[in-house]
Amino acid sequence: MTDRRFLNFPAGFLWGAATSHFQVEGHPEEMSARTSDWSEWTTLDGKISDQTTADQACDFYNRYASDIEICRKLNLNCFRISLNWPALCPDPPKEGEPYTFNAETVAYYRGMLSGLKAEGITTLVTLFHFTLPRWLAGAGGWTSPDSIKEFERFAALAADAFGDLVDYWITINEPLAYAYQSYVNGAWPPGFRNDYLKAFQAIRNMLEAHGKAYAALHQRTPGKPVSFTMHWRPFTAKHRWNPLDHMVRYYRDYVFNLMFPLAVQKGDLQFPYPLSSNEEVKKLSGPIPGLKGTMDYLAINYYTRELSEFSYKWPIDIFGVASTEHELEVNCMGWEHFPDGLYNTLSYDVSPFKYNLDGTLRPIIITENGFATAFSHDLNEGDWSLADDKRINYLTSHLTALHHAIADGANVQGYIYWSLMDNFEWAEGLRPRFGLIRIAYPSQERTMRHSAMVYADIAKRNGLDDP
Ligand code: FCB
């Protein structure tokens, strides 16, 4: 038998794991006072499919020190977190009074980020990962123009409070996934359905807010790269012979994947025809001052592809529907296992963003990628889920595709697995488990899955044997 080829990654490659505040923290003040739209949303009937809340989540708020110790054991040199905007800014600003962050929450984040830095871990910090202060959500959230100045203020305060401990900034996580779930699919707060105008208004405001936050962060923490993440999802026509499925594929791909980063690249937001001929949509289109080129690196969250198909109903919906039938193996949320999509995304789809405005090659970081299996939240004892071969297969097949893309010229500098540990998966609750580390609720016992050991070995060797 010949030795398997070793897939070596570039020197200095970032190997990380990701979390987000609401999904892991169980922040005590946020949960007791319901300072966020999401902490309130989880208490409403029928919003979370397994009826769980994020009130405890992974208790990361109290356990971060031992979780950082786990990162060290896994040989990770990078970690992604997000800031709890609702806990840092529980109250609205008052006219004429200086605005400050909640001091206890600042101390918590400084403690955690210092702990990561003490281990030599590179930190990626997201400002907005889906949760809004309740006072801002009540004022219209991202559809209100207030969101722009409030986000800019939040970014400036975050830079002052934590800038010395942050290596990479992410302003907004997955703006399109957020707009879709919150204003079209109705699964996330504020729960609007098919309100495309609100979704587009939110996107417009997020672009303006991102541009302002980019400037505020650069001014206060010069040299620290700033970007936003995209949930990049390749779309495929369900019936390859059907031009209508291809039309749907085109619109879904343009709006979900391309429109936001193209607006940033060009400083100009353009909706596709025929949407662009709508009078209300026209008002949201056009140049956005200060936005052009505000993307120091490309941050890609990649999980799966989607099969898109035309829906035969009146009036015609150019966005069609996502097929519920699958061609490939799926995770517990129906997401197809499609590593070639990661290769194609990096090698072809993101080529409009390959270069910075000054002509230099723009770095790419995979800021999320992961696999979920379903296990009820009340399982505690036993060896359930530790032999997670499907996750190992997902991980190694995606890393192989990533290595292939790098060999073919993609400037990828890091890979961040979602997630370090099982956590609260939004409207799906605690049931989908993405973790390298298993969490038992409510004991909060942490146990390494086999995938964690495989990943630790990959991070240590800076590569893997070609599977
Ligand atoms: C992404 C989100 C992240 C997590 C994963 C599974 O869309 O950014 O918070 O829920 O999906």
Taking the CA of residue 20 as reference, the ligand 1 atom at the shortest distance is 9
* Contact in structure between 413 and 13 (CB atoms under 8 Å): yes
- List the chain pLDDT tens, one digit each, 467 residues: 557 899 999 999 999 999 999 999 999 999 999 999 999 999 999 999 999 999 999 999 999 999 999 999 999 999 999 999 999 999 999 999 999 999 999 999 999 999 999 999 999 999 999 999 999 999 999 999 999 999 999 999 999 999 999 999 999 999 999 999 999 999 999 999 999 999 999 999 999 999 999 999 999 999 999 999 999 999 999 999 999 999 999 999 999 999 999 999 999 999 999 999 999 999 999 999 999 999 999 999 999 999 999 999 998 999 999 999 999 999 999 999 999 999 999 999 999 999 999 999 999 999 999 999 999 999 998 899 999 999 999 999 999 999 999 999 999 999 999 999 999 999 999 999 999 999 999 999 999 999 999 999 999 999 999 98
pLDDT for res 1: 53
6-8 and 14-18 strand pairing: unpaired
* Contact in structure between 449 and 381 (CB atoms under 8 Å): no
Q: Which residues contact 351 (CB under 8 A, 6 or more apart)?
A: none
Neighbouring-strand partners of residue 52:
none
Annotated catalytic residue, options 152, 174, 208, 306: 174
Query: Which DSSP string do the residues of 244-263 spell out, in sequence order?
Result: HHHHHHHHHIIIIIIHHHHH
Residue found by looking up tokens 């296990």 in the block: 375
Task: State the total domains in the chain.
Answer: 1
Q: Which of 335, 371, 426, 434 to mutate to test the pocket of ligand 1 (most atoms within 8 A of CB)?
A: 426
- For residue 91, the CA-to-ligand 1 centroid distance in Å is 27
pLDDT for res 3: 73
- For residue 231, the CA-to-ligand 1 centroid distance in Å is 8
Q: Which residues of 172-190 are buried (b: 16+ CB within 10 A; e: fewer)?
A: bbbbbbbbbbbbbbbbbbb
Query: Which DSSP string do the residues of 432-447 spell out, in sequence order?
Result: EE--SEEE-TTT--EE
248 domain-assigned: yes
221 domain-assigned: yes
Residue found by looking up tokens 């979920």 in the block: 372
Neighbouring-strand partners of residue 58:
none
76 domain-assigned: yes
Bond prior to 419 in cis (omega within 30° of 0): yes
Query: Which DSSP string do the residues of 98-133 spell out, in sequence order?
Result: -----HHHHHHHHHHHHHHHHTT-EEEEEEESS--B
- For residue 130, the CA-to-ligand 1 centroid distance in Å is 10
| C-alpha count within 13 angstroms, C-beta hemisphere, residue 80 | 34
Catalytic site includes residue 425: no
Taking the CA of residue 177 as reference, the ligand 1 atom at the shortest distance is 7
- For residue 3, the CA-to-ligand 1 centroid distance in Å is 37
Provide the domain limits for residue 189: 6-465
Residues with CB under 6 A from ligand 1: 20, 23, 173-174, 177, 231, 301, 368, 418, 425-426, 434
CATH number, domain containing residue 223: 3.20.20.80
Q: Which helix (H) or strand (E) holds 238?
A: none
Q: Which of 198, 186, 108 is nearest to 426 (CA)?
A: 186
Q: Does the model's pTM come out above 0.95?
A: yes
Q: CA-CA distance, 134 to 136, in Å (whole number)? A: 5
For ligand 1, atom 7, which residue shows the shortest CA distance? Answer: 231
For ligand 1, atom 10, which residue shows the shortest CA distance? Answer: 425
Q: Taking the alpha carbons of 214, 217, 221, 227 in that order, is the dihedral positive or negative?
A: negative
299 domain-assigned: yes
1 domain-assigned: no
17 domain-assigned: yes
Query: Which pair of structure tokens corresponds to residue 427?
Result: 């409207």
* Contact in structure between 122 and 14 (CB atoms under 8 Å): yes
- For residue 424, the CA-to-ligand 1 centroid distance in Å is 10
Query: Which pair of structure tokens corresponds to residue 100?
Result: 């400050």
| CB-CB neighbours of 120 under 10 Å | 8
Taking the CA of residue 231 as reference, the ligand 1 atom at the shortest distance is 7
Q: Which of 80, 124, 302, 418 to mutate to test the pocket of ligand 1 (most atoms within 8 A of CB)?
A: 418
Taking the CA of residue 426 as reference, the ligand 1 atom at the shortest distance is 10
| Sheet of 306-309, strand order | 235-237, 306-309, 321-322
- For residue 333, the CA-to-ligand 1 centroid distance in Å is 12
Q: Which of 301, 333, 371 to mutate to test the pocket of ligand 1 (most atoms within 8 A of CB)?
A: 301
CA 376 to chain CA centroid, nearest Å = 24
Residue found by looking up tokens 């690249």 in the block: 265
